[in-house]
Amino acid sequence: MSHLEIRNVSSVYGKQRVLQDVSLSADKGEVVSLIGPSGSGKSTLLRVLIGLTPPIDGEIHIAGERVDYSSRRHLRRLRNRMAIVFQQYNLFQNMSVLRNVAIAPIKIKKRPRREAEEHARSLLKKVGMEDKQDAYPDQLSGGQQQRVAIARALATNPELLLLDEVTSALDPERVNEVLDTIRLLRREGITMLIVSHEMAFVREVSTKVAMMDSGRIVEIGTPDQIFAAPRENRTREFVSKILSHPK
């Protein structure tokens, strides 16, 4: 049984259909990357999964349990099992780094403050930010803020981590700080769905790559197959342009 199973999911924005009959699965510990041109539905799929954009059709299952996106109880349970990190860090500017990471376990999971802060310190150490626990977001670089955002997402011990273009707002020299953190999470076996334009990184860390275009999945395969021997013309066209014009 797949850890995550997406079956024939569709979604709309206004009157426009932004996802069309999308099916995708991820086994526990897999890293599945979504690639494709801007506007192809990659970020929308992550928003659907976390419950920010409701699906109009199809089913999503986590560990065999179907998610009912119309139920507040199911959504609360879903957000205990899944976390998302956006390209904008969205840290609380009036809170220290430590408080940013500890706040969700304290407020949502009702953990004792001392326990939540101890866990937060261990997560900050994991992402290389333990020496900044008393700093405030405006005292950090973009890469540092994004690593804190990842630690915050991990604070509720999610089964699935969604990463939406987490390096796109960073200066080039800061990108590797965040990519190294994701490499670490991969080694620890966290199931992840990643949207990224960092093709070399996608090829390195992914167990599976899904090419999207116009709200559909065009092709799914291993990184080697997608980047070296794509079957579909649309994938071949996209990959050839991306690889010939690296970021």
Q: Which domain holds residue 137?
A: 4-244
Backbone phi, psi, residue 202, to 5°: -55, -45
User: How many domains is the chain partitioned into structurally?
Assistant: 1
Identify the pLDDT of residue 193.
97
Residue 195: which CATH number?
3.40.50.300
What pTM was computed for the model?
0.92
In order along the chain (247 residues), what is the average pLDDT of each group of 10 residues?
A: 94 91 96 95 96 94 93 89 90 96 92 96 94 96 93 93 89 84 89 92 94 97 96 96 68
- Whether residue 47 contacts residue 208, with contact meaning beta carbons closer than 8 Å, is answered with no
Identify the pLDDT of residue 197.
87
Residue from 6, 81, 78 nearest 41 by CA: 6
Identify the pLDDT of residue 87.
85
Residue from 188, 111, 93 nearest 155 by CA: 111
pLDDT digits (tens, 9 = 90+) for 80-119: 899 999 988 889 999 999 999 999 999 988 999 999 999 9
